[in-house]
């Protein structure tokens, strides 16, 4: 472990799926993007591998790629959470399911559910879809968060992008949200939302890999060091997770940046929204 990193780090962007869904996702990555995942590990192996690499708190997510699958995914999630220590989850939800809101209300009573993941590139609805607004109300009522994949990377579609997300933030600027991948590939546009959205946090996943690095300056990153959390995207990686950590360290920012991003910010969020 690099001495500039905390002794224990937190990973705020991990994916855990049932085995067969993992296999389908890995095949889709090859088919859709030409990407071969280098860690074809199932969920127990993912947790064990991250522990070996010095990761303490793990915050993972999965998502309902179509109506009718969220219930089974969340049964899987509860099983994972109840059998694993220091593991927390953004659960699955699809607004087309009749029981979506009641299911989320039940899930939010679990001490290790952080909130809900919305993957708009795959799920194909807008962040400002009016069907989601009762969920947003519930999230704020129950002190939970939304994790959005809403940026235009690795590819875009009509439902993602800063314009759509900004429209939601105009409606509910206080919504507790995490934006995956630093909002890539529209880094500057998403960064500009920090000042008017007090509960906005972004994670680093996929944003500092070689050849894909975030376009924000070191000074901009340091200025928001308390609003950024480290995430690896493990195990769905096409390059070693260490290369992203090395690129972050190469920015040569003050030690308090690395302490905050790699541990303190994640621990604060877990403590605020979950209980062990």
Residue-wise pLDDT for 63-122, tens only, equals 999 999 999 999 999 999 999 999 999 999 999 999 999 999 999 999 999 999 999 999
Domain count of the chain? 1
Range of the structural domain that residue 67 is part of = 9-273
Q: Is 1 within the bounds of a domain?
A: no
Residue 68 inside a domain? The answer is: yes
Examine residue 74 and state whether it is found in any structural domain, yes or no. yes
Q: How far apart are CA 145 and CA 273, in angstroms?
A: 8
**Position 3 in a domain:** no
Residue 89 lies in a domain: yes
Is residue 241 assigned to a domain? yes
Q: Is residue 19 part of a domain?
A: yes
- Mean pLDDT for 243-264 is 96
pLDDT at position 56, please? 98
Residue 213 has pLDDT above 90, yes or no: no
Phi first, then psi: what are they for 228, rounded to 5°? -125, 135
Q: Which two tokens stand for residue 251?
A: 């920015």
Q: What is the CATH number of the domain that holds 117?
A: 3.20.20.140
Compute CA 110 distance to the chain's CA centroid, rounded to the nearest angstrom. Answer: 19
Coil, strand or helix: which one is 88?
strand
pLDDT averaged over the chain?
96
pTM for the predicted model, two decimal places: 0.97
Q: Tell whether 184 is covered by a domain.
A: yes
Provide CB contacts within 8 A for 17, sequence distance 6+.
Answer: 25, 43, 62, 73, 76
């Amino acid at each position: 472990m690099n001495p500039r990193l905390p002794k224990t780090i937190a990973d705020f962007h991990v994916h855990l799926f049932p085995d067969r869904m993992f296999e389908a996702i890995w095949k889709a990555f090859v088919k859709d993007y030409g990407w071969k995942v280098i860690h074809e590990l199932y969920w127990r192996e993912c947790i064990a591998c991250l522990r070996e690499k010095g990761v303490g708190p793990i915050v993972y997510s999965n998502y309902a790629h179509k109506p009718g699958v969220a219930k089974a995914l969340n049964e899987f999630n509860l099983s994972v959470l109840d059998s694993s220590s220091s593991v927390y989850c953004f659960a699955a939800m699809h607004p087309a399911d009749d029981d979506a809101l009641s299911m989320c209300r039940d899930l939010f009573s679990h001490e290790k559910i952080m909130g809900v993941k919305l993957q708009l590139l795959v799920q194909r609805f807008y962040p400002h879809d009016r069907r989601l607004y009762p969920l947003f109300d519930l999230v704020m009522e129950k002190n939970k968060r939304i994790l959005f994949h809403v940026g235009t990377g690795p590819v875009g579609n009509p439902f993602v992008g800063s314009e759509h997300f900004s429209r939601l933030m105009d409606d509910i600027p206080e919504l507790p949200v995490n934006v995956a991948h630093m909002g890539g590939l529209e880094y500057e546009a998403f960064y500009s939302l920090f000042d008017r959205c007090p509960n906005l946090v972004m994670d680093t996943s996929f944003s500092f890999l070689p050849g894909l690095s975030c376009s924000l300056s070191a000074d901009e990153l340091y200025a928001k060091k308390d609003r950024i959390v480290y995430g690896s995207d493990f195990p769905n990686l096409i390059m070693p997770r260490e290369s992203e950590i090395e690129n972050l360290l190469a920015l040569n920012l003050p030690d308090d940046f690395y302490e905050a991003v790699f541990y303190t910010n994640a621990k604060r969020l877990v403590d605020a929204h979950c209980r062990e």
